[in-house]
Amino acid sequence: MMASAVLDACPEGQKNQGNFLDAPRLEKGVTRFWLIRHALVEQNARAMMYGTMDVPLCPDSLVAQQPMYEALARRLPSDALWFVTPLSRTRRTAQAIQNAGYGERPLTVEPGFLEQELGEWQGLPHAEFPKKLEHEPHYFWPLSGEERPPGGENMVDVCRRVGHTLSTLAAHHAKRDMVVVSHGGAIRAALAHALNIDADTALHFSIQNLSLTILECHDGVWRVVTANELPGI
């Protein structure tokens, strides 16, 4: 028997026992964020700390990863609101998903989901970056959660900014699905907000390009449904 048939065969009162999540499909009418990290950027950008620089996507990856865009188009809810950041790599990724079978939807720009601003350190080659640090870098991130580049943000700032944005959108669009194409650091910050953990702990999450992270908000209480889910893999 198909999973959907099993769900439909259940009495209505057994489909959602409290707020347990054990059905094969996500229940509608829940405030839910579908966070997607943008696609891989081009090779020259990957050689430096690009932060909030508006760097282009890798054209070869856009072609090679077409099955992942198609998988995301199938996975995402059809009636979702869509958000991108001011950087073109998130808009281009969103458009690639929509063109892969989802269908065109309006894209709302939300600066609150931007990547960490690296200030004067943006554009530095990776080899030069460690010499600028005042604190030991995080094992899984180029700098610690407390390190603030001159004119930029530390990850504590990013967590605060992203958390505020999530809470605001959850209040304004209650019980809606929202697709957010964002950045690795911002999605880690979203997980920090949902789990009420500090920035350094959140940096232990792996957030890969085109991965999907799903968060729910239930009356101000957050749940992580999935993190770093790779579509079509």
Mark out the alpha helices in 111-202 (DSSP H runs). 155-172, 184-195, 199-202
Which amino acid is located at 72 in the chain? L
Task: Return phi, psi of residue 122, to 5°.
Answer: -65, 140
Retrieve residue 121's tokens: 């350190």
The pLDDT assigned to 233 comes to: 65
Query: Whole-angstrom Cα distance, residue 39 to residue 124?
Result: 21
Closest CA to 57 of 67, 45, 65, 66: 45
What pLDDT is recorded for position 22?
67
Whole-number pLDDT of residue 84: 98
> What is the pLDDT tens value at each position of the chain, 233 positions in all?
333 333 334 344 444 455 777 666 888 999 999 999 999 999 999 999 999 999 999 999 999 999 999 999 999 999 999 999 999 999 999 999 999 999 999 999 999 999 999 999 999 999 898 999 999 999 999 999 999 999 999 999 999 999 999 999 999 999 999 999 999 999 999 999 999 999 999 999 999 999 999 999 999 999 999 999 999 86
Helix 155-172 and helix 184-195, axial crossing angle in degrees, nearest 10? 70
- For 197-212, give one letter per residue: b (16+ CB within 10 A) or e: eebbebbebebebbbb
pLDDT of residue 149: 96
Q: What is the DSSP letter of 35?
A: E
Q: To which H or E segment does residue 215 belong?
A: strand 212-218
- The residue type found at 151 is G
Q: Provide the token pair at 158.
A: 């990013």
Q: Which residues fall within 8 angstroms of residue 145, CB to CB, at 6 or more apart? A: 138, 154, 155, 156, 198, 199, 200, 202, 203
> Where are any strands of DSSP class E within 53-198?
81-84, 107-109, 177-182
Query: What's the CA gap between 166 and 163, in Å, rounded?
Result: 5
Helix (H) or strand (E) holding 222: strand 221-229
pLDDT of residue 6: 33
Give exposure, 144-179, as e/b (b: 16+ Cβ within 10 Å). bbebbbeebbbbbbbbbbbbebbeebbeebeebbbb
pLDDT of residue 32: 98
Query: What gap in Å lies between CA 116 and CA 155, rounded to an integer?
Result: 7
Q: Return the pLDDT at 18.
A: 58
Do 53 and 45 form a contact (C-beta atoms < 8 A)? yes
Q: Which pLDDT score is estimated for 12?
A: 42
